[in-house]
Structures are given as structure tokens and as C-alpha cells.
């Protein structure tokens, strides 16, 4: 069993001139990066970390935009034997104070020794640092040692053990940033082997990705996997893609891309926003698989995608699905590439009331389910009830996973780690689903988590923000997700109790809630619904019952 550093040292020595990454940035020529470029660029960062006294095994937070600095900084940290964790960059929408609040939350739990960022960003980061906290140095991207031929005897990363933690992966928001998934070299390599078999990966594959690197899908499938397995990666920026989704298709055509991972909303987004003129000369026939991952999968999104892109050589059999999570490094299941998806219509009422997935006889009252495929090799999935007992086929329960590629722990969070493990070592995912044979279907979520465009949103983070608005009762705000059929992802709805009956005042509160949430979380609320005191449904223990509030909201809205 190897480590990241050993594998890349070997690639550097055996195939230095192989282009491993092609970096695309709107308005600039494509930039090919060979293994030689990658290791020599990363070497500068590794040397800088060493000079700054960062010890192997210490965490280094990377706050850099999607681009070559981030690529080199990540691998530089690995070569130094430090543990990189990528923090999302500040966007235009987000208030700098709120960003610093999130950064402080991350620092308090993760205890990083260093932060790497741009000189321009130093003023944003500095105020988040407190005397006596763990951060000993702020490293600026313009003071990095020049890239150069690496002296492998100096790479502390080569002294790491396969069981050691190699990276941390967080989801967004205050809550997500306080729960870092710690992964070992060994776990990642196991995942890559398992996934490689499931995808029938070959050196001829080309991965094209626009996914952010602070998310497991982008970090593993769209970054680490291709780089460690020698597969060409064409890397686009998420900021470029969202303004011009056609760039993905143009890149696939230009570089003969074979594998792309997309969250469910992206199927709708691409099909709706791309025009014929964007697709001139685009040939998608190289595409082996477009893998739907990280959001609930919808067949109608697949259908509009096929309709839109089959004239350009996209084959319906390239539609694929995976169920994945950072705690398993990445893929838990994967559909068979090149084969039609397993889709079934389930009786909606029996599913909801009896938690049983009965194939429907009447399509009007059914819900269409798309299988996420079978577990990849060395991963087992079972469906369990509240007591952790395994359920039979078609019974809906919580999805539990065991594998040879599980997380080491939630970093510095033994409480959270313990909470999610069954006595037999299975990890409780917080997702509900059912099995038919080995096929896994996901039906919902136990946690109140909302997934917007593939990004995890914790309702309590948003509720906390809204409570800051004058006129809103603390503890009397409820946030939940509602599926948006047109966009193929969830919309975020906020309900708040207010005392005033004055229309103008209510409008002011509503506008302020929108503003504070947008600037505090970068989430745009679909609807702010103000209600009178006493509306909110609470659980017997006085906790916010988001589920019940959502039901009540839907009833009132649909009744109008």
C-alpha cells in the first residue's frame, strides 16, 4: 500500500512529460500541466511549509481560487506530509464578516497550523486569527519558494504511513466547517481501486470537471482520482461554468472527454441555458458516462438532457448514477457504465405511509425512482430500522455503509464520529432508501439538511442569520427545502413569526431577512413567509420541527 507522495514521485520519474491536467480559464489559453510541472510547482509550496516550521501531520487550510495556485498548494501540502483542507473562497455575495465567522468556526475545531491565501486576501483572513489560536503562520501565495526540481529526500510526505490522514474534507456553512471528514491515504487508494473497477477505468479515459475542489465529488472524482491514476483531467472553474455551461461540452468535444460527474440540477441547467449557437461543431460521441451524483436523481432531468444533447452525439446509455459521500471517500454505489438505468414507478401513498416501495399499477399516484446502482467492490450497503436492524428488500430505512475506504474520523470530533457508527462498524448515512437485490434507491433524508445545486445547506445556519433581523422572534424561524421541478434541485424556504401587522413593516422584515441570508450564507431564499405568533410547530421537547412546518407551509401555499 502506497502513499500519495510515493505514487506521484513514481509518476514524476517514469512519465514526467505526460500532461496530467489541462487547466481552462475563461479568457486565457488552456494551460497544460505535466507531472513534471505539477511536482516542481508543488515543491515550492512543500519547501515553504517546511521553512515556516509546519510539521508533518499538521493541518494547512487553503483559501485560494480555482486555479494553478490551488493545485500546487494542495499537492505541496501533501508532499510536506501536512494535511490540506480546502476552504471555499469568498464570493461577491457573502459578507466578509460572515466569511470570517465561518473561518473562525473552522479554525476552532480543526486547529490548523497554517493558512495559505493570496496577498489581496490577507486583510480578510487576518481578523479571524486570535492570539493563542493554533494558526502560527499565514502564508501568502506571492512568497512561495520558486518551483524547482524536487529533492525527494527532503519530502516529509514520503515518510507518511498509508493509515495516516492525508486530507480533510468539509461541507459548507458554520455547521459543515466544524465537521471535517478525515481520510487516510489507504482509504483513498482503496476507493480509487473500487471505483476504477466499477467504471472500468482505462488510461484512455479523460475526465472533464468544473466541480469545486472543496466538495467530495470535485475533489475525488474531478481531481485526486485522475491525478493519482494517470488519467488526463481537464479542469474548468465552477465560476466559468455557471456563466457559460456550454464550456463543459466544448471541453468534452475538444479533449475527447469520457467521464463527467454532475449534480442533478446541472442536467436541467445545461439543457435549459445552452443555445444551438453554443454547440456549433461540438461532438459528444467520446462521452462514456455522465454520472449523476450528490443530489436526489430525477429521470425527467436525464430525459431533457438526452433530448438536448443527443443531436451532438450524446448517447442515452452514457447516463449513469452514483451514490457517494465524503465519509466513504466518494462512491458507495455506481450504475454499470453503458447500460440502461434501472428505473421503477413506486406507489406514492404506500411509500409514504407504510415505508414500503411497492411498484405502482397506476402511474398517476406513483413516484419515479432511479436506482443509484449496486455497491462498488469492497463496499456493503444495508438498510436499517431505528434500532439498527437490517430490513428486507423494498423496506425503507436508513442507509448504512461499510467498506474498506471509510473515514478515519470526523477530525477532532469524537462525539460526531461515535454518533454515526453502528456497533457492527456500519456508518449511518442519514439518508433514507431501499434496496431491490443489490440495487440501491434513495428516497429522502433523515437529517434536515437541504441540498441546493449539490451544495449542503444546514437549516440552523440560515435560521440563526434570520434571527438577527429586528422584529423576528429568536427561536421562531424555520428553514426547509422544497423541490423545484423546473430547476431540478431544492429551493430554500424560510418561515418566520412576527408580531407586527403593518404591511410596510412586514415588507421591511422580509427584505432584511433576504439580505441577511444572502450575504451571510450565499444562499438565495426562494420564499420568505411571514406568519403570526403561534404558527410554528414545535416538537414535544420544544425543538423546531422543520418537517411539520414544511407540511403546514405547503398546505397553506397550495390552499391559496
Partner 1 sequence: MSQAMITILAQKIAQIILKEPNRTIQADEALISSGLIDSFSLVDLALLVEDEFGVVVDDTELNPDSFDTLEQLAALIQSKQ
Q: CA–CA separation, 485 vs 112, rounded Å? A: 41
Q: Which is nearer to partner 1, 391 or 482 (CB)?
A: 482
Q: Which is nearer to partner 1, 86 or 94 (CB)?
A: 94
Q: CA–CA separation, 457 vs 115, rounded Å? A: 24
> How far, CA to CA in Å, does 16 sit from each of 33, 155, 175, 204, 559?
10, 18, 41, 18, 65
Q: How far is the CB of 325 from partner 1 (least distance, A)?
A: 24
CB 222 within 8 A of CB 209: yes
Residues written for the chain? 560
CB 519 within 8 A of CB 98: yes
Q: How far is the CB of 253 from partner 1 (least distance, A)?
A: 17
Quote the cell numbers at residue 482.
Answer: 422544497
CB 450 within 8 A of CB 294: no
Q: Which is nearer to partner 1, 266 or 399 (CB)?
A: 266
Q: CA–CA separation, 268 vs 318, rounded Å? A: 16
Q: How far is the CB of 33 from partner 1 (least distance, A)?
A: 22
Residue appearing with cell numbers 431501499: 434
> How far, CA to CA in Å, does 521 sit from each of 72, 313, 461?
28, 39, 8
Q: CA–CA separation, 102 vs 287, rounded Å? A: 39
Q: Which is nearer to partner 1, 256 or 526 (CB)?
A: 526
Q: Which is nearer to partner 1, 25 or 315 (CB)?
A: 25
Q: CA–CA separation, 298 vs 360, rounded Å? A: 17
Q: How far is the CB of 95 from partner 1 (least distance, A)?
A: 9
Contact residues for partner 1 (CB under 8 A)?
Answer: 26-27, 91-94, 239-240, 242-245, 247, 269, 273, 275, 453, 518-519, 522, 524
Radius of gyration in angstroms for the set of CA atoms belonging to the chain, rounded to a whole number: 24
> Which has the closest alpha carbon to 262: 338, 211, 307?
211
Quote the cell numbers at residue 135.
Answer: 494558526
> Which has the closest alpha carbon to 248: 267, 229, 227?
267
Residue appearing with cell numbers 469568498: 90
CA atoms within 13 A on the CB side of 56: 16
Q: How far is the CB of 453 from partner 1 (least distance, A)?
A: 7
Q: How far is the CB of 274 from partner 1 (least distance, A)?
A: 9
Q: How far is the CB of 255 from partner 1 (least distance, A)?
A: 19
Q: How far is the CB of 244 from partner 1 (least distance, A)?
A: 4
Quote the cell numbers at residue 125.
Answer: 483572513
Q: Which is nearer to partner 1, 257 or 453 (CB)?
A: 453
Q: Which is nearer to partner 1, 112 or 453 (CB)?
A: 453
Q: Which is nearer to partner 1, 400 or 513 (CB)?
A: 513
Q: Which is nearer to partner 1, 81 or 453 (CB)?
A: 453
CB 107 within 8 A of CB 135: yes
Q: How far is the CB of 343 from partner 1 (least distance, A)?
A: 28
Q: Which is nearer to partner 1, 41 or 453 (CB)?
A: 453
Q: How far is the CB of 92 from partner 1 (least distance, A)?
A: 5
CB 444 within 8 A of CB 380: no
Amino acid at each position: 500500500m502506497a502513499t500519495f507522495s510515493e505514487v506521484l514521485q513514481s509518476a514524476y520519474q517514469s512519465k514526467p512529460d505526460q500532461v496530467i491536467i489541462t487547466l481552462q480559464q475563461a479568457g486565457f489559453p488552456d494551460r497544460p500541466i505535466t507531472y513534471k510541472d505539477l511536482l516542481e510547482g508543488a515543491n515550492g509550496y512543500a519547501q515553504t511549509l517546511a521553512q515556516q516550521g509546519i510539521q508533518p501531520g499538521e493541518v494547512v487550510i487553503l483559501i485560494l481560487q480555482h486555479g494553478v495556485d490551488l493545485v500546487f498548494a494542495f499537492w505541496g501540502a501533501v508532499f510536506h506530509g501536512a494535511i490540506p483542507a480546502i476552504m471555499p473562497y469568498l464570493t461577491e455575495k457573502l459578507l466578509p464578516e460572515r466569511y470570517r465567522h465561518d473561518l473562525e468556526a473552522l479554525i476552532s475545531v480543526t486547529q490548523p497550523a497554517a493558512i495559505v491565501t493570496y496577498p489581496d486576501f490577507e486583510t480578510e483572513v487576518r481578523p479571524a486569527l486570535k492570539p493563542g489560536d493554533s494558526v502560527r503562520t499565514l502564508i501568502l501565495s506571492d512568497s512561495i519558494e520558486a518551483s524547482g526540481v524536487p529533492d525527494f529526500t527532503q519530502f516529509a510526505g514520503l515518510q507518511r504511513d498509508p493509515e495516516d490522514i492525508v486530507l480533510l474534507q468539509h461541507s459548507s456553512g458554520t455547521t459543515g466547517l466544524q465537521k471535517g471528514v478525515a481520510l487516510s491515504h489507504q482509504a483513498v487508494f482503496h476507493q480509487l481501486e473500487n471505483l476504477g473497477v466499477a467504471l472500468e477505468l482505462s488510461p484512455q479515459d479523460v475526465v472533464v470537471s468544473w466541480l469545486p475542489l472543496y466538495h467530495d465529488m470535485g475533489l475525488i472524482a474531478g481531481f485526486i482520482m485522475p491525478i493519482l491514476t494517470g488519467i488526463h483531467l481537464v479542469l474548468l472553474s465552477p465560476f466559468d461554468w455557471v456563466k457559460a455551461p456550454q464550456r463543459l461540452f466544448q471541453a468534452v468535444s475538444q479533449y475527447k472527454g469520457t467521464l463527467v460527474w454532475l449534480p442533478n440540477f446541472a442536467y436541467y441547467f445545461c439543457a435549459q441555458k445552452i443555445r444551438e449557437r453554443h454547440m456549433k461543431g461540438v461532438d459528444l460521441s467520446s462521452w462514456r458516462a455522465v454520472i449523476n451524483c450528490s443530489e436526489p436523481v430525477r429521470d425527467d432531468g436525464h430525459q431533457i438532457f438526452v433530448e438536448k444533447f443527443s443531436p451532438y452525439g450524446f448517447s442515452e446509455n452514457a447516463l449513469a448514477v452514483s451514490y457517494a459521500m465524503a465519509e466513504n471517500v466518494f462512491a458507495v454505489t455506481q450504475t454499470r457504465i453503458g447500460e440502461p438505468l434501472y428505473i421503477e414507478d413506486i406507489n406514492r401513498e404506500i411509500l409514504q405511509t407504510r415505508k414500503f416501495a411497492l411498484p405502482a399499477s397506476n402511474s398517476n399516484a406513483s413516484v419515479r425512482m432511479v436506482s443509484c446502482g449496486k455497491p462498488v467492490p469492497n463496499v456493503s450497503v444495508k438498510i436499517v430500522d431505528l434500532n439498527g436492524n437490517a430490513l428486507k428488500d423494498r423496506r425503507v430505512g436508513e442507509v448504512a455503509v461499510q467498506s474498506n475506504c471509510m473515514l478515519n474520523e470526523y477530525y477532532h470530533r469524537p462525539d460526531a464520529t461515535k454518533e454515526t457508527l453502528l456497533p457492527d462498524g456500519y456508518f449511518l448515512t442519514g439518508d433514507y432508501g431501499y434496496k431491490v437485490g443489490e440495487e440501491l434507491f434513495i428516497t429522502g433524508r433523515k437529517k434536515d439538511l437541504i441540498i441546493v445545486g449539490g451544495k449542503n445547506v444546514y437549516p440552523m445556519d440560515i435560521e440563526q442569520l434570520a434571527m438577527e433581523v429586528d422584529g423576528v422572534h429568536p427561536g421562531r424561524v424555520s428553514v426547509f427545502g422544497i423541490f423545484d421541478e423546473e430547476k431540478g434541485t431544492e429551493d430554500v424556504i424560510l418561515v418566520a413569526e412576527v408580531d407586527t401587522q403593518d404591511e410596510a413593516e412586514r415588507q421591511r422584515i422580509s427584505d432584511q431577512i433576504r439580505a441577511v441570508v444572502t450575504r451571510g450564507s450565499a444562499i438565495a431564499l426562494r420564499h420568505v413567509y411571514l406568519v403570526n405568533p403561534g404558527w410554528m410547530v414545535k416538537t414535544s421537547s420544544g425543538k423546531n420541527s422543520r418537517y411539520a412546518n414544511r407540511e403546514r407551509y405547503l398546505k397553506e401555499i397550495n390552499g391559496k
